[in-house]
Amino acid sequence: MEVNVTVNGEAMHTDVEPRVLLVHMIRDQLGQTGTHWGCDTSNCGACVVHLDGVPVKSCTVLGVMADGRSVTTVEGLEGPGGLDPVQAGFMECHGLQCGFCTPGMMMVAKSLLEHNPNPTEHEIREAISGQLCRCTGYDNIVKSIQWAAAHQNAEVSA
Amino acid sequence: MQTPAPFGYQRATSVSHAVSLLEQLGSEARLVAGGHSLLPMMKLRLARPEHLIDINDLVDTLSYIKIEDNELRIGAMTRHSELLASPVAGEHYRILHDAERVIADPVVRNRGTVGGSIGQADPSEDLSAVFCAAKATIVITSSSGTRQVAARDIHDGPYETVVGDAEMITEVRIPIRPGGGSAYSKVERRAGDWAVAAAGVCVWLNGDTITDVGIGLTAVGAPHFCAVDAEASLIGRPATAENIAAAAALAAACVNPSTDQRGPAEYKRHLAGELTKRALHKAVARAQGKES
């Protein structure tokens, strides 16, 4: 099926079988490999992207469901002036070790701060409760998001 | 890689379009809303529909939470996250927020829908117990109009409902009644998991006397998700700790849990009683304005 989808602000077109999952369409057909494909079962949260601005687990959404909609992936976080504060926070506070969970963590953090610019630690932990970090680096992930909350107007050069 | 078997895909543009597609495509067609139950089952080949009818474009007509005719009305395409965030839902039925807070995780709740949860009829599903406790009514739409089925009558066994091949769930209606309080208590192995066991209670008081009560149980094999003997034991009686304990024992007696990786049957039976007791105490306290 033909799919027209806006990815990180850019109009894209592809042709997929209806059974292709959004995560595979994004990675394999649209070449945006920043989104990670993890557990396949909507448990780990590595594949989170924003669909029309709402975080979803892209392993449990069909690619064809994104037709006519907009998708933002981790590649879309960086702005013209540099890294998004969420990305900078993960850099500043060692928010990643192996990096596998990082795209999903950052996409969830971005959405949290859009709706709640000053979250408590509890609210941050609640927001990332659908994400698994197998390095168990949760403390630094929370600190990274707190850093981003405190530097929301910053764009940091990589 | 887990990928569903091939299927045809169409998007419905209206409720009438969706039901006409169901009529045309027959019994091997399924509606997909959030897809967070159906797609995992399709990946595992536990479900293998030939056609999916995507109803996500119907959010404008089927996503709402409102009061009408003294009922709380919830559109079938309302996402779990929207129900959790709804002040009007929480004002009238705290049980809805109690339950939504422990359904999956925030990102899954962004996608899963209220109507999908009912239609999936998973024997461990939380909202099925909630709507049975609340004595809700489910509105079902077909090309010949709508019909209403009590939440307690919609289940026809695990993953089975009385919703026909060419029908769709469009709304949940919960009557607003004075003197009410409600609560949901769940035990899960880890955050976001399915229930080991859970109990939902809606109680209505006149003074200290229980005038009506609904007790829903999930994941423990309660007939139609309800503990009817426990309910009957409380109606017309004062909401005392003794009466609540006796009702909880009746709730534990009515369940038929299975031993599985979530625990042995006897543990789940114990939980059914204990969680019924906790939810009853909390619901009564809320009805009396003693507990937020």
A60 vs B104: CB contact, 8 Å cut-off? no
Query: How near does any CA of chain B get to the CA of A154, in Å?
Result: 26
- Considering chain A, what is the average pLDDT of its residues? 96
Nearest one of B37, B89, B101, B33 to B64, comparing CA atoms:
B89
Structure confidence at residue B1 as a pLDDT band (50, 70, 90) = confident
Report d(CA A12, CA A5) in Å as an integer.
Answer: 5
- What whole-number percentage of chain A has pLDDT above 90? 94
Choose the mutation target among A2, A5, A57, A60 for the interface with B, i.e. most B CBs under 10 Å.
Answer: A60
* CA torsion through residues B228, B232, B234, B235, sign: positive
Q: Tell me whether residues A61 and B35 touch, CB distance under 8 A.
A: yes
pLDDT at B291: 75
What average pLDDT does the structure give for chain B?
97
Cβ of B105 within 8 Å of Cβ of A65? The answer is: no
A54 touching chain B per CB within 8 A: yes
The pLDDT of residue A8 is: 98
**For chains A and B, what is the number of CB pairs under 8 angstroms?**
74
Contact A34, A27 (CB under 8 A): no
- Whole-angstrom CA distances from B101 to A55, A108, B14 are 17, 17, 30
User: Nearest CA to A43 among B87, B129, B193, B23?
Assistant: B193
Distances in Å between the Cα of B77 and the Cα atoms of A82, B57, B113 are 38, 10, 5
Q: Is A154 on the interface with B (CB under 8 A)?
A: no
| Phi, psi of B65, deg, nearest 5 | -135, 115
pLDDT score recorded for residue B207:
95
Give pLDDT, residue A155.
62
Q: What is the mean pLDDT of residues A97-122?
A: 98
* 0.80 surpassed by pTM: yes
Q: Which residues contact A78 (CB under 8 A, 6 or more apart)?
A: A84, A87, A158
Distance CA A66, CA B289 (A): 46
* Inter-chain CB proximity A130 and B8 less than 8 Å: no
pLDDT (average), residues B162-185: 97
Q: Is B35's CB within 8 Å of A65's CB?
A: yes
Predicted confidence (pLDDT) at residue B218 exceeds the cutoff of 80: yes
Residue B292 pLDDT? 64
Is B13's pLDDT higher than 60? yes
Q: What is the pLDDT of residues B75-125, one digit of tens each?
A: 999 999 999 999 999 999 999 999 999 999 999 999 999 999 999 999 999
In terms of Cα–Cα distance, which of A31, A27, A33, A25 is closest to A2?
A25
In the predicted structure, residue B246 carries a pLDDT above the cut 70? yes
ipTM, interface predicted TM-score of the complex: 0.95
Q: Across residues B33-53, what is the average pLDDT?
A: 97
DSSP E strand stretches across A8-134: 10-15, 48-51, 54-57, 70-72
In tens, the pLDDT along A133-158 reads 999 999 999 999 999 999 987 666 65
